Chains A and B, each alone.
Chain A
């Protein structure tokens, strides 16, 4: 974990980001959702950007037929039993970094990063571009948020965030 604290009021933490991506084939979506829901032991989010939680897992609907599963620890067993005729899974745990941001100015910081409606971001995952880089943003409160970013851009984005205050 890399932690930086800007001279102002922002604390940034970089953490590894265990992530399993699951894709459904178009004509097998319903069966795929059933199989995946059974495997993670809970209902899947219905809307793109929706988040469902079950124990140590968080499931985000990243697209109409795509789910991102965030386990607390990296695992090779999650979603490994999806039948190939329904869809597939892919471990993306090495390629993403989670940048956690804590600041009372989070709304202002986010407005300088993403074209998203702040009032509609609580409890949902927003897929957008930050300085032209694809990221996923979530926030749990007025001051705590997290960006899931491609590993190769993590340092560049951290610097950008630090200077957004």
Chain B
């Protein structure tokens, strides 16, 4: 047949006024709007479209839907290249560039097709059995080449230029599938008053009705009715790929290629749909037969041939053999005969429905009962078949082979939540098991292959689904659908053994022989079979292969089909691009960011910013040095000699109020808070239930029943959640309210010998003398129209004040302090200097409070020596926490001039081999301008006797000797901060 003879002049769901030009493997073709790529290729006489995964055998188009295992193509070029797309699902668009995969140098002449000659060697497990030696590491060498030889298309490595969206949606009733059952269900649910979302993976709604010429008028009427209903939304080009808890469906929607430029809209949209009830009207997939060379281009599913003829107005070829074990194939034969094809029917069953036989013969078909296809002839196209019947074998020439071994209901979604499929022998298929009360099945998905039954089941399911949502309006009967029906499968199709190159899984190149080998080698469970042979592990997830495979295994083991069972169905039903799941949360929007009220000042004043959690914080200011190592040391000197100002707005801040607030804090903190006086602050440490230190910070008593807690920046959200949890569960009797006020207050710390003078100048209404505002004291006031709190606290060891002002005036307060403080040498400093200052002072922080340390480990055991009844107390006495080799906080000082210490270095005794985890670890390090050497904090075994360790940093192959000293390197008496 010439290409022009393949396309009918009329008919089908095509817009012939829109001629679309596209390319396949660089050659230009034409198709119509309404075509898939597969349909357009067939219409242009292209039947060879790919090479198989392992053997590189020539492959054509098997199906007309999402189950396609063979016709996988790569679409697009450059950054938009996307591999492994089934041509059967690709909506044809003008300018589409498609290419075949897994071949070199060309599709027709593929060098690696030589693999086919070694087929007997390349059986299941071949790689693992063969490439075992000579050493254990040999596999790492072979794997690269094996993966290069086998495979599908190649994804681009360029950044994806397209936009993807991720969204949420809600509905009363979700109907998955828009065939007869789905349309009927959507109509009934909508008439009952429910909000309905109809989901269709195709770009046309109608499902199998699109292949039924007699159903066209019914489909048109139903579509019009639904489109006019205000409470019905229809999502075309949308696949429901997963079912999750709470009737949540994962949907992936392709952009409409005719809606405008691709860049204008999201290329794909991921939707999480919450439905009160779901109707699964997902239909059924026809199963292939298993015979020699059943993978040749030109061998197709009968239902696919019917779809190409009726929906796409394409006659794939004119001389056809229809192999079947199912009545529905006769409808394909009738449609082909009506289009002038020559048809031979090979029916595997000894008997067939007499009316079908009579009609077939009357229309001119040759029918052979109890006859199977034994072999297919031809390489790039079919040239004939060998039929095996009661009277032996006979060759029949043909150019197209249809096959049908029954139907598999699409029960993937219904199985995702653990509902086991149930085998129904009378239809030779698994159907969904008992579903939850909010989920319903209708039509082919439930095993009903009759379209009129699907309509009735759909209406019933739609009504019931609407009722779940409380909608019980009157539902009018659906219009009658007059259509020719068949009985479907009337016998169980069983693959015949002894056939060579008889493919069960087309995409993964798994043959009957492979399954027999797996059985011989003991991989009898379907789950083991799957993993040993890779059956069902392709991008098609074995939609056409799984049932045939388990039938083969059941027969080999001498057990029934339900005893063999199915593999586990897991999402996704079809491949989902990661980009769509991420949606817009990429690049700049990968995660949200937080800005302090003073952020704009920092960026305008040459601060190098650093992401700390979600916060953007000044790392260092270029005014003190253009690189971090210079700048932070200068900033430290600044704080130690004059004064520095630091943005501490990122600290977690929690307002705690209520008559029982003091009692609450007394339980939450390991050290007591009930005795804290109004107007005073106290350092506090919280433990987890298990006795491990959770977080530290200071809490200030603002009034008898009110406290202001600060937490570390990193733990702010965790601490608030923990406090809320305790109040909601453990201590519901306490009258306490906790609220995050982290965003409420801008915070800044002024530290250094000049700090008191600077604050006195900036806030003349407040007395900053030692008597009026001692260390850990509070002063309150107002700044412009915002509240003001000043707490004398020190993290650096210097005399320091934390100034909190309403966030809206944060930058104003900062500017005022900078202006006033300039005369005293005040300059800003960043987090690098902050971290270094606290190390000099021996304050612990995140690297020490790392979820493994106790109070005693951190040298704070005495804080709680006489206390009890606080969170974590009971388990803090565990024997393991008292072990003699428990790692405790120490200070470490480099004793090798010019050598630096490293955070994370392992600590060993001098002379010990530098192996294993050592005796401890370095947690925080810095260069100390005060001591002119590298210092650090570390955790070292308490039973370590020496005063010197070796710090080993294997990542850089560095070894440094360090002296074990007190963790407080500076001003141990605290004279500086007490002023």
Contact = CB atoms under 8 A, between A and B. Distances in A.
B943 to A, nearest CB: 45
A33 to B, nearest CB: 16
A148 to B, nearest CB: 11
A126 to B, nearest CB: 12
Contacts of B593: 153, 155-156
A142 interface: no
Interface stretch (B58-66, B82-90, B161-169, B437-445): B161-169
A124 interface: no
A123 to B, nearest CB: 17
Given A132-B592, A152-B594, A112 B659 contact: no
A95 B786 CA distance: 12
A116 B743 contact: no
Contacts of A11: none
Among A94, A111, A115, A116, residue most surrounded by chain B Cβ atoms (within 10 Å): A94
Contacts of A16: 808
B583 A133 contact: no
Given A84-B705, A119-B195, A133-B592, A90 B584 contact: no
B745 A21 contact: no
Given A87-B737, A88-B657, A112-B584, A152 B170 contact: no
A27 to B, nearest CB: 8
A163 B737 contact: no
Given A88-B657, A116-B168, A157 B807 contact: no
In the complex, which range does the number of interface residues on chain A fall in? Answer: 35 or more
B655 A90 contact: yes
A105 interface: no
A120 B168 CA distance: 14
Contacts of A116: 168, 170
A88 B806 contact: no
A131 B735 CA distance: 33
B744 interface: yes
Contact of B742 (A84, A115, A131, A152): A152
Contact of B592 (A28, A94, A156): A156
A152 B589 contact: no
Nearest to B168: A115
A114 B169 CA distance: 9
A3 interface: no
A5 B323 CA distance: 64
A88 B657 CA distance: 7
A86 B964 CA distance: 55
Contacts of A152: 594-596, 615, 649, 742-743
Interface in B567-612: 583-585, 588-589, 591-597
B786 A164 contact: no
Given A112-B165, A151-B807, A156-B592, A94 B786 contact: yes
Contact of B741 (A95, A112, A120): A95
Contacts, number: 101
Interface string B642-684: 0000000100000101110000000000000000000000000
A60 B329 CA distance: 64
Interface string B765-787: 00000000000000000000010
B858 interface: no
Contacts of A119: 170, 195
Given A84-B659, A94-B806, A95-B742, A131 B592 contact: yes
A26 interface: yes
A128 to B, nearest CB: 9
B658 A150 contact: no
A92 B591 CA distance: 25
B744 A92 contact: yes
B589 A23 contact: no
B870 to A, nearest CB: 23
Contacts of B588: 159
A25 B167 contact: no
B807 A163 contact: no
Among A16, A84, A151, A164, residue most surrounded by chain B Cβ atoms (within 10 Å): A151
A74 B732 CA distance: 32
A96 B169 CA distance: 27
Nearest to A24: B737
B272 interface: yes
Interface in A89-129: 90, 92, 94-96, 108, 111-112, 114-120
Nearest to A89: B657
B168 A114 contact: yes
A131 B743 contact: no
Interface string B714-738: 0000000000000000001001010
A96 B807 CA distance: 10
B169 A131 contact: no
Contacts of B597: 151
Contact of B807 (A21, A25, A94, A153): A94
B362 to A, nearest CB: 56
B629 interface: no
A85 interface: yes
A72 B771 CA distance: 42
Interface string B152-179: 0000000000000111111000000000
B589 A159 contact: yes
A133 B165 CA distance: 18
Given A88-B657, A88-B658, A25 B735 contact: yes
Nearest to A130: B592
Nearest to B806: A94
Contacts of A131: 585, 589, 591-592
A160 B583 CA distance: 12
Nearest to A85: B659
B966 interface: no
Nearest to A87: B737
B167 A95 contact: no
B596 A94 contact: no
A23 B658 CA distance: 10
B170 A118 contact: yes
Given A84-B659, A111-B169, A114-B168, A90 B592 contact: no
Interface in A73-90: 84-85, 87-88, 90
Among A21, A95, A163, residue most surrounded by chain B Cβ atoms (within 10 Å): A95
Contacts of A133: 592
Contacts of A151: 597, 743, 807
Among B591, B593, B743, B808, residue most surrounded by chain A Cβ atoms (within 10 Å): B743
Contacts of A157: 592
Nearest to A16: B808
A16 B594 CA distance: 17
Contacts of B592: 131-133, 153, 156-157, 160
Contacts of B4: none
Contacts of B655: 90
A155 B589 contact: no
B434 interface: no
Nearest to B166: A112
Interface in A25-43: 25-26, 28
Given A112-B165, A114-B168, A115-B168, A155 B739 contact: no
Nearest to A128: B168
A94 B744 contact: yes
A8 to B, nearest CB: 10
A122 to B, nearest CB: 14
Contacts of B807: 94-95, 151
A26 B737 CA distance: 11
Contacts of A120: 170
17 contacts: A90-B741, A94-B786, A95-B742, A111-B169, A112-B167, A112-B584, A116-B170, A117-B170, A120-B170, A131-B589, A131-B591, A132-B591, A150-B594, A150-B743, A151-B807, A152-B615, A152-B742
Given A118-B170, A152-B743, 14 more contacts: A25-B658, A28-B735, A85-B735, A87-B737, A92-B739, A94-B745, A94-B807, A96-B743, A111-B168, A117-B274, A150-B594, A151-B597, A152-B595, A163-B584
Q: Which 8 A-B pairs have the closest CB atoms?
A: A95-B743, A95-B744, A117-B170, A23-B737, A152-B594, A115-B168, A25-B735, A111-B167
